[in-house]
Amino acid sequence: MTERIHAIQIAASGIHTRSFTGLYRTLRIAFAGALFVLFFGTAWLDWNGRQAVLWDLADSKFHIFGATFWPQDFILLSALLIICAFGLFAITVYAGRVWCGYSCPQSTWTWLFMWCEKVTEGDRNQRIKLAAAPWSLNKLARRTLKHSLWLAIGVLTGLTFVGYFTPIRPLAHELFTLQLGGVALFWVLFFTAATYLNAGWLREAVCLHMCPYARFQSVMFDKDTLAVAYDPRRGESRGPRKRGSDARAQGLGDCIDCTLCVQVCPTGIDIRDGLQMACIGCAACIDACDNVMGKMGYPRGLIGYKSEHSLQGGTTHWLRPRLLGYIAALVLMIGALVVALQLRPMVSLDVIKDRGLFRENAQGQIENIYLLKVINKTAHPQRYHLRLLDAEGFELHGNTAFSIPAGEMSELPVSVAMLAERPASSSQELAFEIRDSDQPAVRSVARSRFVAPLNR
């Protein structure tokens, strides 16, 4: 019921956060800066004459610097997603929702949009007055500038995101010269609108009502999980007082009830009410409270990253079975991914048998037709040799020595003729081997069937 009332209040009045400074704000800016550089900068990097990171949907391959991955390698993507999941679980068990507060794109872009709001409309009190004021040229100009900045950031975000799937340089040229159309234009506009709505208008509603992580995070919490928390034993009873006054004589705790912890919160909660699902662990309230404690001459840490055990006067257990289990699983998965990358075959071979069962060639031999798809997964052109393995009584016809450019696929039609007049079976297994001419250890084997009539 409390959360529902809180949501109604937010919808009615909006959240206007107050500016503040502090250690955790500096850390959050550093993480956000790293994320922006990584996201916006990587798309423009080149590697060996092409975009360094590009998911080429047209050719069904993914370039990441010097490596090229194909649909056959998507199991590695699954392993990467599992690693991210276990990493998130381990972080959550240890320190709650720090991912949400410091690195989540929704939170990061929301903080950026809130900064644009501060630049164009002023600090908290000025924004509240502007929101309540009737429309005027000043209000119209400020709102127009704010939304223009939001849309500009949305366009850059949409362009960059789509630029990881379509080469970003021609995409940007076509967009800013108004020549972009079709599917690419749709997705740029879609992600522009999504960024503008999520970070500009929905904001905390995404964290409160749309994010599944907020729903299941409590399952991973234990009594030793660090979470942003208020220490009621030290803070209660709350009340204003003058600096240097004897608060204990007045029956007061260290909390002066300034409500700055509420004013800086991006989701509008009062952390003094206890752990809440809406808390994203951003530590804005910690910075605000520490500043007040410093001015009052009180020890910092009235609000801080605390465990349930520490709040009850106990000791936080840093190493416990659940956390160690997640860390062990994370290390094992990272190790498995590294090994899989090292052992990943750098040439791939697929054999597709022609739909026709068989045919008789000019020499009167039974012949089957095959289409071989060979992928060079290396960053350099390679020369390959094709042969049949353990295929006594069969003869391979076609181009058995050929070259393939770096990171490309080649289709090779071949035929296999049966030398014997009478087959031992109507269907026999054949093994095709492709081998690098310069590095014999680089090879791939694929199997198919040879079909022949028993009676001729």
- pLDDT band, residue 4 (cuts 50/70/90): very low
- pLDDT band, residue 456 (cuts 50/70/90): low
> DSSP 3-state assignment of 26?
helix
To the nearest 10°, the Cα dihedral for 190, 196, 199, 201? -120
**Mean pLDDT calculated for residue range 364-392:** 92
d(CA 384, CA 435): 5
- pLDDT band, residue 2 (cuts 50/70/90): very low
**Mean pLDDT calculated for residue range 287-309:** 95
Q: Residue 262: is its pLDDT beyond 60?
A: yes
d(CA 61, CA 71): 7
**Mean pLDDT calculated for residue range 139-153:** 97
**Mean pLDDT calculated for residue range 236-247:** 91
Residue closest to 85 by CA, chosen among 55, 281, 93: 93
**Mean pLDDT calculated for residue range 114-125:** 96
pLDDT of residue 406: 86
Q: Residue 358: is its pLDDT beyond 50?
A: yes
pLDDT of residue 421: 79
Yes or no: say if 193 and 201 are a contact pair by the CB < 8 Å rule: no
**Mean pLDDT calculated for residue range 230-258:** 93
Q: Residue 371: is its pLDDT beyond 70?
A: yes
As a whole number of angstroms, the longest Cα–Cα distance in the chain is 111
pLDDT of residue 117: 96
Q: Residue 298: is its pLDDT beyond 50?
A: yes
d(CA 1, CA 89): 29
Q: Residue 383: is its pLDDT beyond 70?
A: yes
**Mean pLDDT calculated for residue range 56-76:** 86
| Signed CA dihedral, 36, 40, 41, 43: sign only | positive
d(CA 451, CA 415): 12
Mention the CATH class of domain 347-451: mainly beta
**Mean pLDDT calculated for residue range 88-101:** 91
**Under the phi-then-psi rule, with left for phi > 0, alpha for psi from -120 to 50, and beta for the rest, what region is 390?**
left
State the amino acid at position 67 in one-letter form.
Answer: A
pLDDT of residue 75: 87
State the amino acid at position 119 in one-letter form.
Answer: V
pLDDT digits (tens, 9 = 90+) for 402-439: 999 988 899 999 999 998 877 878 889 999 999 999 98
pLDDT of residue 29: 96
Q: Residue 48: is its pLDDT beyond 90?
A: no
- pLDDT band, residue 187 (cuts 50/70/90): very high
Tokens 């009410």 sit on residue: 273
- Cα distances (angstroms) measured from residue 240 to each of 2, 235, 237, 292: 26, 12, 10, 12
Q: Residue 13: is its pLDDT beyond 90?
A: no
| Range 432-453 burial, b when 16+ CB lie within 10 A, else e | bbbbbeeeeebbbebebebbbe
**Mean pLDDT calculated for residue range 292-298:** 95
**Mean pLDDT calculated for residue range 47-61:** 88
Yes or no: say if 93 and 225 are a contact pair by the CB < 8 Å rule: yes
Per DSSP, what are the bridge partners of residue 46? 51
Cβ within 8 Å of residue 10, ≥6 positions away:
204, 205, 268
Q: Residue 167: is its pLDDT beyond 90?
A: yes
| CB neighbour class for 410 (10 Å; exposed up to 12, middle 13-18, buried from 19) | middle
Yes or no: say if 259 and 239 are a contact pair by the CB < 8 Å rule: no
**Mean pLDDT calculated for residue range 299-303:** 96
Q: Residue 59: is its pLDDT beyond 90?
A: no
Yes or no: say if 282 and 100 are a contact pair by the CB < 8 Å rule: yes
Helices vs strands, H then E, count in the chain: 17, 16
- pLDDT band, residue 11 (cuts 50/70/90): very low
pLDDT of residue 277: 83
pTM for this one? 0.85
> DSSP 3-state assignment of 299?
coil
State the amino acid at position 178 in one-letter form.
Answer: L
Residue closest to 127 by CA, chosen among 18, 201, 25: 18
Q: Residue 52: is its pLDDT beyond 60?
A: yes
Q: Residue 136: is its pLDDT beyond 50?
A: yes
Yes or no: say if 196 and 151 are a contact pair by the CB < 8 Å rule: yes
pLDDT of residue 319: 87
Q: List, in sequence order, every beta strand (DSSP E) within 301-452.
A: 303-306, 347-353, 359-360, 366-376, 382-389, 394-397, 401-404, 409-418, 427-436, 443-451
Yes or no: say if 415 and 367 are a contact pair by the CB < 8 Å rule: yes
Segments making up each domain of the chain, as ranges: 2-21+29-77+92-220, 347-451
pLDDT of residue 1: 42
Q: Residue 7: is its pLDDT beyond 50?
A: no
pLDDT-above-90 percentage for the chain: 71
Q: Residue 196: is its pLDDT beyond 50?
A: yes
Q: Residue 275: is its pLDDT beyond 90?
A: no
What is the 3 state secondary structure string of 414-454? EEEEECCCCCCCCEEEEEEEEEECCCCCCEEEEEEEEECCC
Name the token pair of 188: 């740029």
- pLDDT band, residue 343 (cuts 50/70/90): confident
| Range 263-291 burial, b when 16+ CB lie within 10 A, else e | bbbbbbbebbeebbbbbbbbbbbbbbbbb
d(CA 447, CA 389): 10
Name the token pair of 87: 């990493």
